[in-house]
Amino acid sequence: MDFVPLGLATDLVILTVRDSALQVLLIRRGIAPYRGRWALPGGFVREDEDLEQTARRELTEETGLAADRIHLEQVATYGAPRRDPRGRVVSVAYLALVPDLPVPVAGTDAESACWVPAVDLLADPTHLAFDHHQILTDAVERARAKLEYSPLAAAFCPDEFTISELRTIYEAVWGIPLDPRNFHRKVTKTPDFVAP
């Protein structure tokens, strides 16, 4: 039986809410393939790393944040045979949710980095390199779904935040306006969700 040599990588969908909009961190690739195209940050797994360590390292390199204080979860594995023109590469995608951050600094293999409204990227499947549109779509859907049954929205917020700021997070992620009074009532009735 023949085995195909392959590379193992992680890709990161780093989401935040800026200017009342769900935004994703992108890098403009500085190297081939797809040089000059927008892509999700990510990188290959090093010999001494597990998958989550790779994702946390890439998160720190791309944002400058201490990755141990960031919500990070695995979304899915992507392994279509021709997803990367360099050869067979399997990528494990992670979702990272962060409070509003300053303009990012590009990492080692990127020309630039910036925050882009997720809605713009989701509407155009040709905007991103590789299969990153599918990865982004899956990660945003995961975030939207988890907000319905968990306190995950707090991961977008600083340590202290108002209920109004929390409502802005829900509105940005879901893409719909919410009634302020109903939202306030629901949040304050949820046990252990907000401190009095």
| Among the ranges given (5-9, 35-39, 100-104), the one the predictor scored with the smallest mean pLDDT | 100-104
The angle formed by the CA atoms of residues 69, 21 and 130, to the nearest 5 degrees, is 75
Please name the residue that has the structure tokens 């809410």: 17
Report, as an integer, the average pLDDT of 7-30. Answer: 95
Asked whether 30 and 111 are in contact (CB, 8 A), the reply is: yes
| pTM exceeding the 0.75 threshold for the entire prediction | yes
pLDDT band for position 191 (cuts 50, 70, 90): confident
Fold of 7-150: Nucleoside Triphosphate Pyrophosphohydrolase (3.90.79)
The single-letter DSSP state of residue 78 is E
Asked whether 113 and 18 are in contact (CB, 8 A), the reply is: no
User: Would you state the pLDDT for residue 6?
Assistant: 92
CA proximity to 153, closest of 192, 100, 191, 97: 97
User: Would you state the pLDDT for residue 196?
Assistant: 66
Residue with the bigger pLDDT between 162 and 62: it is 162
Q: How do the domains of the chain map onto residue ranges? A: 7-150
β-partners of residue 44 are: 9
